[in-house]
Amino acid sequence: MRRVNSLLAAGAASLLSTAAFAADYPLPPPIAPPPPQPYYAPPPPQEFGGWYLRGDIGMTNQKVKSLQNVLYNDPGVSVQPVHYEFDSGVTFGIGIGYQYNSWLRFDVTGEYRGKTSFNGLEIVRLTNGTTFPNGNSAATDEYRGNKSEWLGLVNAYADLGTFWCITPFVGAGIGYSRNEIRGFTDINTPNGSVAFGQKATRTNVAYALHAGLAYKVNNNFTIELAYRYLNLGDGITGDLQTFDGTNLRFNPTTFKEITSNDLRLGLRWNLEPTLVVPPPAPLLPLIRRG
């Protein structure tokens, strides 16, 4: 009996000592649950648009379809054009526009097209059996003059997507052109005659077609390189007079359908800087008691 009691006492003492030894070490921390996935508010819709200013400079390559004069209406006169040529000129323009969305924009522009020299040559033949004072039935008319314009257009453009900061675009415009012809002379060398016309202007409906590339330097500054086809309508001279001042009746010379192929460099400045919106703060999941 004593032996059994001794074994029980020894076992109890051993269990108590083991418990006391284990109490000297802290328990391992509990395993934390995985962090909750953050919930983000949907990003605000991307906004396009805003007003911008623009400035342009360019070079012109101009043509005229024909020259017309009331004297050419005589059925006994035949006129054969040889050439009509304008020198290249410089254009300067400014404007204000609005970017409507990511691909559509509009602007209103005003432009001065600098003075360019004109020269032309025609062969005139008398087909009614008569001759010129020198006895010939044919003669030449040599033309000289200068031309300039003031041009105003309302334009619309379609941006065709941006690739490596470069945006191709196309567009069209319509407006008015005030064409001025000055210093016009008509020299008929074979007959030794000279006529000239006083300065005159004509205002016409004008239209333009645009195509080009825009390079976005930063959010508020863009450079354009563009081609433009431009129809300026007609120009007109004053009544032709001989060198002694004799008026040759109402016979101004009309420049029919003046057109131009322009190469232009443009700059655009946004008036409303683009704001950089930081990403929204995460919204933590709602914890409920349950």
Give dist(CA 183, CA 152) in Å, integer. Answer: 25
Nearest to 139 by CA among 85, 183, 80, 64: 80
253-281 pLDDT tens trace: 999 999 999 999 999 999 876 554 555 55
Q: Which residues contact 161 (CB under 8 A, 6 or more apart)?
A: 103, 167, 168
Q: CA 90, CA 264: separation in Å to the nearest integer?
A: 10
pLDDT at res. 213 = 97
- For the chain, how long is the longest CA-to-CA vector? 168
CA-based nearest residue to 118, from 89, 83, 91, 144 = 144
For the stretch 126-164, pLDDT in tens is 777 777 776 677 778 899 999 999 999 999 999 998 888
Q: pLDDT at position 204, please?
A: 95
pLDDT, one tens digit per residue, over 14-73 is 544 554 544 455 556 667 666 665 555 555 554 556 899 999 999 999 999 999 887 777
Of 75 and 7, the structure prediction assigns the larger pLDDT to: 75
* 211, 217, 220, 221: CA torsion to nearest 10: -60
Is residue 2 scored above 70 in pLDDT? no
Backbone φ and ψ of 90, nearest 5°: -115, 140
pLDDT of residue 246 exceeding 70: no
Q: For residue range 180-227, what is the model confidence (pLDDT) as tens digits?
A: 999 999 888 777 778 888 899 999 999 999 999 999 998 889 999 999
Alpha-carbon Rg for the chain, nearest whole angstrom, is 42
